């Protein structure tokens, strides 16, 4: 039986007594992603590759597609009365939406910016929170990852795939020829052990000593303490790495390094680490910042950076333990 995203949402909401409005927020996000997908697929044909010649709040160069995707997400979410406010990796501050709205949505509209112009997988990452009572402020968004009510991503790869959790397992959907998300996997579980790791090796000299020691063990393979050979992958798109890990296991890390004392890692807690960590937890994997579960971190700022180790739970536990000595 073909299960469309909407069927899945209705069934999940009913089964777990979740509010209809949560389903409508997910639908708004998925609709925006259909539009982003359309632009991604057209690429140069729609003149949307290349730099927008602007910088975001973090001083990073924005691609035209970053800017466009951000606008498509904002437009779709603002049109939904259930959305009280949103925060984007590309926006300096949060954007208020509807006073009566119940939900907050945080997102990285197009992750993997360095891959946009070279036709390598990129994605949209999203996180949904309940809006706390009272007036909307930055503080309303600063909730630990474990309080997310939903999260997911859309991967614009050889196939367009939506992965979603409403905190009752995860579900995978593949975009069909009629532009509909069709469920293609239910509750995949990440193998607890792995022989595959992902890290940007070019930063090795900047890592802290425990990460140096951990990766050296993996590289030593069968002749080292881990007693097995490891394979390495680095797509430079977190969405693609996380998707690979969901499908066949692995460990992904973007560690803390010494390049900039203000930035304990490259990835953002609110737009990247939290939503992906919730998916990991729901699929039997794990995610830490090398010291604690990412989902337990109390956020201090919307654009806060964090070190990330995520994936197969035994490997994440091993790498994390190495940092506690």
> Which residue from 119, 139, 117, 18 is spatially nearest to 66, judged by alpha carbons?
117
Query: Can you read off the two tokens belonging to residue 55?
Result: 């910088």
Nearer to ligand AHM, 111 or 315 (CB): 111
Candidates 227, 171, 235, 159; CA nearest to 197 is: 235
- Largest Cα–Cα distance in the chain? 61
Q: DSSP 3-state helix, strand, coil percentages of the chain (rounded to 5)?
A: 40, 25, 35
Considering the complex, what minimum distance in angstroms separates the CB of residue 3 from ligand AHM? Answer: 29
> Which window, 30-38, 111-119, 289-297, 311-319, contacts ligand AHM (CB under 6 A)?
111-119
Q: Which of residues 57-96 bind ligand AHM (CB under 6 A)?
A: 60
- Judged by CB under 5 A, the chain residues 97 through 156 that form the site for Mg ion are 108, 111
At its nearest, how many Å lie between ligand AHM and the CB of residue 238?
3
* Dist CA 213 CA 204 (whole Å): 11
Q: Which member of 114, 209, 227, 231 binds ligand AHM (CB under 6 A)?
A: 114
Place of tokens 């990452």: 125
# binding residues, Mg ion (CB under 5 A): 2
Rounded-to-integer distance, Cα 322 and Cα 325, Å: 6
Stretch that binds ligand AHM, among 24-32, 77-85, 236-244, 315-323 (CB under 6 A): 236-244
Tell me which stretch binds ligand AHM (CB under 6 A): 29-37, 45-53, 109-117, 159-167. 109-117
Pick from 22, 84, 254, 281 the residue near ligand AHM by CB under 6 A: 254
238 binds ligand AHM (CB under 6 A): yes
Helices 313-322 & 209-220 angle (0-180, nearest 10): 130
CA distance 74 to 60: 20
Count other Cβ atoms within 10 Å, centred on residue 96: 15
Q: Is residue 39 at the binding interface for Mg ion, with CB under 5 A as the rule? A: no
Site for ligand AHM contains 113 (CB under 6 A): yes
Residue number with CB closer to ligand AHM (89 or 315): 89
Q: How does strand 231-232 pair with strand 196-198?
A: parallel
Binding of ligand AHM by 39 (CB under 6 A) = no
Q: Which residues pair with 198 in a beta bridge?
A: 252
Site for ligand AHM in 271-310 (CB under 6 A): none
Residues in touch with Mg ion (CB under 5 A): 108, 111
Residues in touch with ligand AHM (CB under 6 A): 60, 108, 111-114, 200, 236-238, 254, 266
């Amino acid at each position: 039986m073909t299960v469309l995203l909407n069927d899945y949402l209705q069934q999940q909401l009913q089964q777990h007594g979740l509010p209809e409005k949560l389903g409508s927020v997910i639908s708004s996000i998925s609709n925006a992603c259909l539009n982003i997908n359309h632009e991604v697929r057209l690429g140069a044909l729609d003149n949307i590759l290349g730099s927008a010649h602007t910088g975001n709040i973090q001083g990073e160069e924005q691609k035209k597609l970053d800017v466009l995707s951000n606008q498509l997400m904002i437009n779709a979410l603002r049109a939904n009365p259930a959305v009280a406010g949103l925060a984007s990796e590309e926006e300096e501050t949060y954007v208020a939406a509807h006073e009566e709205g119940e939900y907050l949505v945080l997102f990285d509209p197009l992750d993997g910016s360095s891959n946009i112009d070279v036709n390598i997988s990129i994605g949209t990452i999203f996180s949904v929170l309940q809006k706390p009572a009272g007036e909307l402020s930055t503080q309303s968004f600063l909730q630990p990852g474990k309080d997310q009510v939903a999260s997911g991503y859309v991967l614009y790869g050889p196939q367009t795939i939506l992965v979603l959790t409403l905190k009752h397992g995860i579900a995978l959907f593949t975009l069909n020829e009629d532009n509909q998300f069709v469920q293609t996997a239910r509750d995949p579980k990440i193998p607890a052990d792995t022989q595959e790791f992902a890290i940007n090796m070019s930063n090795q000299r900047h890592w802290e000593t425990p990460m140096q020691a951990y990766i050296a063990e993996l590289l030593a393979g069968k002749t080292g303490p881990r007693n097995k050979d490891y394979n390495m992958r680095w797509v430079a798109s977190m969405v693609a790495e996380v998707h690979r890990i969901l499908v066949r296991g692995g460990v992904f890390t973007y560690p803390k390094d010494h390049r900039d004392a203000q930035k304990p890692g490259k990835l953002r807690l609110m737009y990247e680490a939290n939503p992906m960590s919730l998916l990991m937890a729901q699929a039997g994997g794990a995610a830490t910042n090398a010291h604690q579960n990412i989902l337990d971190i109390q956020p201090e700022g919307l654009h806060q950076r964090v070190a990330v180790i995520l994936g197969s739970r035994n490997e994440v536990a091993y790498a994390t333990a190495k940092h506690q000595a």
